[in-house]
A and B are shown apart, each in its own frame.
Chain A
Amino acid sequence: MVEPAVLSVDGLTTEFRIAGKWHAAVRDIGFELARNETLALVGESGCGKSITALSIMGLIPKAAGRVAKGRILFEGRNLPELADDEMRKIRGDRIAMIFQEPMTSLNPVLTIGFQVAEVLRYHRDLGPGEARAQALDILDQVKIPSARDRLDDYPHQFSGGMRQRVMIAMALACQPRVLLADEPTTALDVTIQAQVLVLLAELKQRYGMSMIFISHNLGVVATIADRVAVMYAGEIVEIAPVGELFDRPTHPYTEALLRSIPRVDRTSDALVAIPGQVPPISRMPQGCRYAPRCGLKQPICERAGPPLEPVPGSGATHRARCWVRAGGTGAAA
């Protein structure tokens, strides 16, 4: 990568307090996000995808959570070190986020015109009139039909897909450098999903934005991502360019995940599931977190957690956290 990364996360560990003890919900997360790149974070519910995004946004609830370790470098600054108000100025302006639930993520008592314009008023110091004019422009760009007449409508007057467009408009109003999209299409039906994905890709291109796209839908990821990071139990277990990941899944979890996608072109109607369960946050295994469910388990796997290391036979861009299949030590053990 010649260009410096727009966002670089290194050794990020975010902890939550459960019954008086701190437990890491995500551990040692590291990745770099290049300009214009889309990085997908995939994994099952509770694996720490959203926590990673909320940590970047500085939105981990203070009462019970904290970013315990690691750096999040953005525009030359380490975000976890910033004061609340400095972080607030970055949120919604330089880094924006859209959420999974369009039905509940908009304020029901404020008009959508107000909610979009508000971002511009706080970050661009625009007066109400000017902010409203720009809000209209951005609502047009996300293709809200007859946006001018709908500025004073309330969220409940919009369908789910339209609300997600409003969310996107709010997130993009200040043309952020990084967009965090947390399952933006999961709550939508399939045709609307496709429309929203196309819209996101289009706008990303237009603004030269980088995107972290969180999903558990591997089909969606295959169409939108440049690179994919697979997360399991709070760790990135494999990261690779999208084609490479689908062609050569290396971590046994990635492999199992890909195998479990139901396919319409096969007659078998049995779903392939991964045996066992994700360990609870308070009882993480000593060694590799996937070891209890892994078919390739070796003695070392239960003793120590493997580092994220390059996969033999591919460039440094493909890395996996596996004693058996990645790094130099695996073969020896």
Chain B
Amino acid sequence: MLQYLVKRLLFAVPTLLAVLTVVFFIARILPGDPAQVILGEQASAEAIQALRLRLGLERPLIQQYAGFMAGALTGDWGSSMVTGRPVLGEVLNVIPYTIELTAASVILGAIIGIPLGVWSALHRNRLIDYVTRIGSLLGLSFPAFVMAIMLLLVFAIQLSWFPVISSGGSGSLGVRLQHLALPAINLGIIMAAYITRVTRSSMLEVLGEDYIRTAHAKGVPALAVVWRHSLRNALIPVVTVVGLYLGILIGNSVLTEIVFNRPGLGKLIVGALTQRDYTMLQGLMVVYTFVIVVVNLLTDLTYGMIDPRVKYQ
């Protein structure tokens, strides 16, 4: 088990290196010049040249690349080209907000989605099933930012239950949760829609299995057949989807963070892109890659908890 973990994390190293390389070169190919963006349209050619020199952008590309890789590996991710603050510090500042939001929406999605999917499967092709399926389809097809704006209009502006600007909140847990609520509901609904659909189809498959017939033949009560005999078998595809979807969720959180004006990785990366902040962009990509690697690993470990047939080696 421990051996498996170490092996998996070691495998992540080449992935990270490859991503870093790709990001480095893509950033350089992007049209636009950080020095130009920082100094503005009116800046003189000399000033831009001076700044480019200071930012190290005049060195040969290969030298820049070597310097960047060496830095990345030793934990020195450089400073933001725009603000001058260390990249690592900036990232660490906002990462709790993103983790908080992602975790809350996954939990919300599971709490809503799993029972709804089971319920829908048990009432296959009946009214309840159709309503659930249409509902989840709506949840999937609604763009995150549209739903976010609707949530804001109703719950923050009309009803004033939640703050309009979810700055993340600070201090007491209550305030933090209040700031978290709308963005988490926004992403949680999308998550729930996915989970409902996967749970439903997976449950339908499991309910047709021979061992479910065996459970009925043993006289196991219907509720126990559903929760003990079926659900655990049905959860593997659900875990896969949650794992895969976490990646998408982080993408969706960009829009959510912007609409709710909430700090987080998403907002940071959009800022870095528009300002051609190469160093910040690179640092964020490392973080994203690392998150995906960790999520995949956690997904694989969860399989083992659900299914005794899964072995790690």
**A77 CB → nearest B CB, Å:** 15
Query: Which residue of A has the minimal Cβ distance to B235?
Result: A109
Structural contact, A105 and B214, CB atoms closer than 8 A: yes
Q: Is B41 among interface residues, defined by CB-CB distance under 8 A?
A: no
Is A233 in the interface zone, CB < 8 Å from B? no
Residues of A near B210 (CB, < 8 A) are 99, 101, 104-105
Point out the residues of chain A lying under 8 angstroms from B219, CB to CB. 88-93, 119, 122-123
Cross-chain contact A108 with B308 (CB below 8 angstroms): yes
A167 to B216, CA, bound (A): 13
Within 8 A of B (CB), among A64-88: 84-85, 88
Any A CB within 8 A of the CB of B215: yes
A107 lies within 8 A of B217 (CB): no
A93 to B218, CA, bound (A): 7
A92 and B309 within 8 A (CB)? no
How many interface contacts (CB-CB < 8 Å) are there between A and B?
73
What class of interface size applies to chain A in its complex with B? 20 to 34
A99 surroundings in chain B (CB, below 8 A)? 210, 213-214, 217
Q: Which residues of B contact A57 (CB under 8 A)?
A: 217
Minimal Cβ-Cβ distance residue in A for B231: A109
With most chain B CB atoms within 10 A of its CB, the pick from A89, A118, A123 is A118
Query: Inside 8 A of A63's CB, which chain B residues have their CB?
Result: 124
User: A170 at interface (Cβ–Cβ under 8 A)?
Assistant: yes
Residues B209 and A92 in contact, CB atoms below 8 Å apart:
no
Q: Give CA–CA (A34, B191) in the complex, Å.
A: 58
Whether, in the assembled complex, B142 has its beta carbon less than 8 Å from a beta carbon of chain A, the answer is: no
In the assembled complex, which residues on chain A have CB atoms less than 8 Å from the CB atom of B217?
A: 57, 59, 91-92, 96-97, 99
CB atoms of B307 and A107 under 8 A apart: no
Chain B interface residue bracket vs A: 20 to 34
Q: Hey, which chain A residues are within 8 Å of B233, CB to CB?
A: 107-109
Partner of A122, one of B211, B221, B229: B221
Residues of A within 8 A of B220 (CB): 88, 92, 118, 122
Option from A59, A104, A110 in Cβ contact (under 8 Å) with B216: A59
A60 CB to nearest chain B CB (Å): 11
Q: Are B308 and A104 in contact (CB under 8 A)?
A: no
- Interfacial chain B residues near A156, Cβ < 8 Å: 308-309
Considering only residues 1-41 of chain A, those with a C-beta below 8 Å from chain B are none
Given contacts A89-B219, A104-B209, A123-B219, contact A109 B307 (CB under 8 A): yes
| Cα A106 to Cα B217 with chains together (Å) | 12
Q: Bound state CA distance, A85 and B307, in angstroms?
A: 31
**Residues 118-158 of chain B, each 1 if its beta carbon lies under 8 Å from chain A, else 0:** 00000010000000000000000000000000000000000
A19 to B: closest C-beta gap in Å:
15
Q: Tell me if A109 and B306 are in contact (CB < 8 A).
A: yes
Q: Does B232 contact A (CB under 8 A)?
A: yes
Contact B218 A122 (CB under 8 A): yes
Is the C-beta of A246 less than 8 angstroms from some C-beta in chain B?
no
Contact residues of B between 194 and 227, Cβ < 8 Å to A: 209-211, 213-222, 224
B229 touches A110 (CB 8 A): yes
With A104-B209, A109-B307, A154-B308 known as contacts, the answer to whether A167 contacts B218 (CB < 8 A) is: no
Could you tell me if A109 and B213 are in contact, using CB atoms closer than 8 angstroms?
A: no
Would you call A106 and B308 a contact (CB within 8 A)? no
Interface residues of A in 108-132 (CB under 8 A from B): 108-110, 118-119, 122-123
Report how far A97 CA is from B307 CA in the complex, Å: 26
Of B213, B218, B307, B309, which contacts A170 at CB under 8 A?
Answer: B218
CB distance from B161 to the nearest CB of A (A): 42
A108 engages B309 (CB within 8 Å): yes
- Jot down 10 A-B pairs with beta carbons below 8 A, ordered by A: A59-B216, A90-B219, A91-B218, A99-B210, A99-B217, A105-B210, A109-B233, A118-B220, A122-B221, A170-B218
A-B pairs with lowest CB-CB distance, top 4: A92-B219, A92-B218, A91-B219, A104-B210
Chain A residues packing against B (C-beta within 8 Å): 57, 59, 63, 84-85, 88-93, 96-97, 99, 101, 104-110, 118-119, 122-123, 154, 156, 167, 170
Known: A108-B307, A110-B228. 9 other contacts (CB 8 A): A57-B217, A91-B218, A97-B217, A99-B210, A105-B213, A107-B214, A119-B219, A154-B309, A170-B218
